[in-house]
Amino acid sequence: MTSLPTAEELRTLAREAAGRCGVDLDAVAGDHPVTSPLTGTPLASVRWDTAGDVETAVARAGEAFRAWRTTPAPVRGQLVRRLGELLREHKADLATLVSLEVGKITSEAAGEVQEMVDICEFAVGLSRQLYGRTISSERPGHRLMETWHPLGVVGVISAFNFPMAVWSWNTAVALVCGDPVVWKPSELAPLSALAAAALLDRAIAETGAPAGLSQVVLGGADVGEALVDAPGVALLSATGSTRMGRVVGPRVADRFGRSLLELGGNNAAIVTPSADLDLATRGIVFSAAGTAGQRCTTMRRVIAHVDVVDALVERVAAAYRALPIGSPIAPGTLVGPLVHDAAFKAMQDALEAARQQGGEVVAGGGRRLADEAPDAYYAEPALVRMPGQTDVVRQETFAPILYVLPYRTLEEAVALNNDVPQGLSSSIFTSDQAEAERFLAADGSDCGIANVNIGTSGAEIGGAFGGEKHTGGGRESGSDAWKAYMRRATNTINYSGELPLAQGVEFPI
């Protein structure tokens, strides 16, 4: 692998990419450093907001809402169309910032930006499809129908691993639904957030939309808490850990707000005796090692039939040993760094727990480039054979660890898939149609995402994204996820000239 870039080279890349998107890093400079996981050195510094700034932002968004909610939805879609055009134009710049702040390899970072473009295209079409319905009334001369209306200010709290895409899922859909957005990005990736938001600000100015439709508040937990507790936030969409969701959900509910939670995942693939092992190996390695194991949909467990488990482990181990690990902006790299030292420590702690619980580390688990970058944490994706689903396997470790478990019957495999607190993504590799259908049936996978012959990560925006159980139950992106951003009204229209009551009730006056 090529040498890591210098700290000065990284700072120059960040400054130039941000500048082309409309962000002057000198103008946003403050006391809080932005560290690149590529070298563990600062890229820039930013000024954090306060809880009072959140209150101001929410109030400003509320003012914008009063104008935006009566703007026709297809007109609102034109703003999102322009945003998509600007995102496409600045795809390379945004991808550079994602790589520098998060450590994603170039193709994955560009893929995140493409996902933003895709959701904009989806939302533009959606702006002409916010359908209600007509319902048959039991009363003559009456029409019963449902209509959908803008909800209000949407608060978005996003995690570091998708520093822009999750915001775009919420924002593109919220805007066409008539809602402004106040965004609190991860404190680990503020430059990506500022760049994406600057492009939306430009689209707002060019289309004449209200200026308060999009706002970013930077900061730590206190800023996030202020957004969670703000009474003017109608919907709080939060992506992060299950631990965070346990706090956010009740606090939003206490003020009778809505919450949309995208939390932890402990995703598994079942590999059956009929599976194409070459196909399974490719799907497993990308899902488990991509983004250095730092996706919520990262594959963390493989449940392989006893007839194929040895051959599968051999194939995956060989692929792991050949993975190019290094600078994510260097050509050919497939695995970049972990986001910080705490992630590497959590990985090592989990591997030690796995050994104590009877596991065998077959491949990986070590650290690379420590001499060249002592403050950066490049980890070798680890493959671990386990005797069963022990405590450490049932916990989510946000790092590239893949546990392999054996099974004998499909019922046993599905039970193992479901026997974790999380319920985000799952998959099965099989050439048997009956096995695939049983996995997708009501008594099959209990996850929000269930795939056949692909891995657990890499969802398209056309389908609703989210999961069950400790994953939070939220749905974002495609399908009918738009309904979370609107309020439903049931309407009865009486054109009969009479006043018959429902259910045959008589009330003569």
Which residues are marked as active site? 262
80: CB partners within 8 A, 6+ apart: 120, 123, 124, 127, 172, 175, 176
396: CB partners within 8 A, 6+ apart: 242, 264, 265, 266, 300, 422
Write the DSSP symbol of residue 325.
B
Pairing mode, if any, of strands 378-379 and 367-368?
antiparallel
Tell me what percent of the chain is helix, strand and coil, each rounded to the nearest 5. 40, 20, 35
Count CB atoms within 10 A of the CB of residue 503: 6
SS3 track for 131-198: CCEEECCCCCCEEEEEEEEECCEEEEECCCCCCCHHHHHHHHHHHHHCCCEEEECCCCCHHHHHHHHH
- Beta pairing partners, 304: 271, 406
Question: Tokens 């996003």 correspond to what residue?
Answer: 158
Is residue 171 a contact partner of residue 181, using CB atoms and an 8 Å limit? yes
Angle between helix axes 73-89 and 106-126 (nearest 10 degrees) is 160
Is residue 269 a contact partner of residue 404, using CB atoms and an 8 Å limit? no
Of 271, 304, 293, 282, nearest in space to 429 by CA: 271
Pairing mode, if any, of strands 425-429 and 382-385?
unpaired
Distance from C-alpha of 113 to C-alpha of 67, rounded to nearest angstrom: 29
Write the DSSP symbol of residue 369.
S
For the chain, first and last CA: distance in Å?
88
Pairing mode, if any, of strands 181-184 and 258-262?
unpaired
Is residue 148 a contact partner of residue 176, using CB atoms and an 8 Å limit? no
DSSP labels, 415-468: HHHH-SSEESEEEEE-S-HHHHHHHHSTTS--SSEEEESS-S----TTSEE--E
Distance from C-alpha of 492 to C-alpha of 505, rounded to nearest angstrom: 17
